[in-house]
Structure 1
């Protein structure tokens, strides 16, 4: 395996990581902005108010997008990693 192939494989792996983490990170960002805006407007500075909605929403999104994440990882492994290990 050449250096170029290794860098290409690394690039593909990083892109798969971005695709898989995007739903969770997007929900965390949106929930954080909404809760922060709510706290700024109401002057409520409760620490659990920032954590509980974010954790709950991320758990729901993880449960909903779990099949997408699994399918993406399995496709990357079977279509990219296994042929490289087999020498293809």
Structure 2
């Protein structure tokens, strides 16, 4: 396999991983920021207050974006990886 094909496939794979992880990481960041602001304003320092809502939000976004993730990974596999395995 040529170096150019290898690096292009690697670049596409990394970009796909960024695309499918962005919704979950974005929601985790926003919820964590909101809870941190709430804790700073009310002086409530409870560890479960940060963990439980963040996990619930992450699970909700994961459930909502599962079809997008599956379609994106499936398309990457069938359009990029399978032709490389078959030899173009």
TM interval, shorter chain, is: over 0.9
RMSD: 0.4
Question: Which ranges of structure 2 fall in alignment gaps of 5 or more residues?
Answer: none
Report Cα offsets for 1:32-51 as digits up to 9, x if no partner: 00000000000000000000
Which whole-Å CA distance do the structure 2 matches of 1:30 and 1:64 have between them?
17
Q: What's the TM-score once normalised by structure 1's chain length? A: 0.99
State the 4+ residue runs in structure 1 displaced beyond 6 angstroms: none
Aligned residues: 88
Question: Which ranges of structure 1 fall in alignment gaps of 5 or more residues?
Answer: none
Q: What's the TM-score once normalised by structure 2's chain length? A: 0.99
Query: Secondary structure in 2 aligned to 1:21?
Result: helix
Query: Secondary structure in 2 aligned to 1:44?
Result: coil
